[in-house]
Amino acid sequence: MADLSVSQSVTNLSQSAFSQFKGTTNKIGADGANADYQTFTVTKSGEYNFKINDTFTNVDIVNDRNEVVTTLRSKTEATDANARLGPGTYRAVVSQANRTAGARNYSLDVSEKQNIVMTGAGATLKGTARAPENGDTGIQKHTFNVVQGGTFTANLTLPNSRWAMMDKDGKVVASSDSTKPDDQVSFLKKPTYKIDPGQYTMVLVPPSNLKAPTDFQMSFVPRDPTLSETGTSQESAVSKTLRERQDRLRQWASQARTTSTKA
């Protein structure tokens, strides 16, 4: 294993939402397979998603104590894995699963995995969508920790995108396939999603024709499902009941005054 303390300019994952390492497995790994090494640092604790875009490739992420913190083992398809990293220096050891294969080029993507806390007041995810290239599909995964459930409407500012929120069993509890920014649709015409407390994975698929990195925002806004759109009047069932009750009280009071005057 190469010395992690080698003085050189390295990527700081804490300073970017996305990083990509490229190289060639033209070195020799500890097991004799063709390998390569990428050193990076983390200056603040966070959770990161590592994705190797090449087939039959192994990746070990090790800390400065040579402890493996996460592994990736791709076969016929690209694969990814998550790891929570604290401040420190790390190294990605990229090697080929087939020891007899010659040197190959590779690309390793690293993106910050946000952990969003969602309450009854909703939640907001801010990120940057990436243009698919060099084997990177641009798909993002984030964690939503719902501490207070409710009924919500989702607002995504990135057009032509797909997203899905899945529970721990992989069941989709909310999703959308938009052809235009969600914020152009009337709030009262948006679909609503009932989301219970728990931990969910948000998968966001950007448009395939995206040309450059694009900032986006995704918000979950609490929504009273009893609200309806009737011109400029919007009244929930509860509000209607209270209004009708108040009208009856006024009518009763008026009738009581009339009876008292006649008496």
Block means of pLDDT (10 residues each) for the chain, 263 residues, are: 49 84 92 92 90 92 95 90 92 91 89 86 87 71 91 88 90 80 56 91 88 87 71 49 62 58 52
- Its domain, for residue 19, covers 11-111
User: Do residues 105 and 120 both lie within one domain?
Assistant: no
Number of H helices, E strands in the chain: 1, 19
Gap between the Cα atoms of 207 and 227, Å rounded: 32
Gap between the Cα atoms of 18 and 21, Å rounded: 10
Task: Indicate the number of domains in the chain.
Answer: 2
User: Do residues 88 and 60 both lie within one domain?
Assistant: yes
> Quick check: is 230 in a domain?
no
Q: State the pTM of this model.
A: 0.58
- What tokens were used for 55? 């087939």
User: Do residues 57 and 92 both lie within one domain?
Assistant: yes
User: Do residues 85 and 174 both lie within one domain?
Assistant: no
> Quick check: is 232 in a domain?
no
User: Do residues 79 and 173 both lie within one domain?
Assistant: no
The pLDDT, as a whole number, for residue 256 is: 59
User: Do residues 91 and 143 both lie within one domain?
Assistant: no
CATH number for the domain that contains residue 95:
2.60.120.1050
The pLDDT, as a whole number, for residue 141 is: 85
